[in-house]
Structure 1
């Protein structure tokens, strides 16, 4: 009885696995809109392409980010339809959906575009001072700097004179 149950379970599992392997894959490159670069600063140029329309053209809509409509034309690159638009300089940071509708049929695909105020490859270098509460320089005032240097020189000369007198045995 156990052997039969294992055999039936194994057969059912093999059939289910074969059925999954033969099922169409959803979310592949043919059903999406590729947005490059996916992260852009306001005023940047964006290129979109899709295989969803085959060798046909499409009408793109970037109205969500404020760029309006644009055309995707057929390309020689593996049946892609390619188009470009410019993100307006007034665009606010956020994620926006870019849509393309194929000219033939009613197929529509979408992709996401992220607008940031700083380019992804830029690095911010630290500037300024660290607020530790210990204090610091008073600034670049030449009068204060000269007074500080003079005070240190007098202290060093006085210390040297006292050490010299002590070494001679004159006392303090």
Structure 2
């Protein structure tokens, strides 16, 4: 009988640990708007990941406080664009639109300063748009095991606690019976 009581206690402990390990974890999605700086110079591309049809801003300090530049986004199919002087920290800023026909991948964006001809590059990642985005599975899997309480972590924890109490009570009753105290 003691062996049965120990086995039930071990089972109750395993149920509690498994329930806590199965609680869902939530994470913030990665931010795809960070600037990219290339090794050849400093060309910032924002957002660094864009969708077909999206607007992209490019800026650089390489051309000086009042410098301008000619940009080239032909790699992604957008063609030439102009970077003009800006009041924001002496940047030269320009914009272009990613063509709706752009394919997913990484593309090099180039800017060449009007004075001095210095060339800088940056990378643009084109991703699938929300309309073309693959659907990610959500929800629980219908396996026939568990799921009575749903995916809510509070309800899951309450269910695990109820199972642990039931297992502990069963262990206590078996222990009393083994000692001869009766129910």
TM-score normalised by length of structure 2: 0.51
In the TM superposition, 1:68-147 aligns within 5 A as: 68-118=79-129, 124-126=135-137
How far off is 1:29 after superposition?
9.9
Sort the Cα spacing of 1:115 and 1:99 in 2 relative to 1 into closer, same or farther, 3 A.
Answer: same
Once the two structures are superposed, what CA deviation does each residue of 1:110-131 show, in whole Å capped at 9, x if it has no partner? 0000001046xx8944269969
Give yes or no for contact 1:51–1:79 (8 Å, CA) kept in 2.
yes
Once the two structures are superposed, what CA deviation does each residue of 1:124-157 show, in whole Å capped at 9, x if it has no partner? 442699697xxxxxxxxxxxxxxxxxxxxxxxxx
Q: Does 1:49 align with 2:93?
A: no
Equivalent residue, structure 1, for 2:42: 32
RMSD: 3.2
Count of residue pairs the alignment pairs up? 106
Give yes or no for contact 2:38–2:123 (8 Å, CA) kept in 1.
no
Question: Considering only CA atoms, is the larger Rg found in Structure 1 or Structure 2?
Answer: 1
Sort the Cα spacing of 1:115 and 1:80 in 2 relative to 1 into closer, same or farther, 3 A.
Answer: same
Q: 2:71 aligns with which of 60, 64, 75?
A: 60
User: Please, which runs of 5 or more residues in structure 2 have no aligned partner?
Assistant: 1-36, 144-183
Give yes or no for contact 1:75–1:82 (8 Å, CA) kept in 2.
yes
Aligned equivalents of 1:130 and 1:28: distance in 2?
Answer: 44
User: Please, which runs of 5 or more residues in structure 1 have no aligned partner?
Assistant: 1-26, 133-172
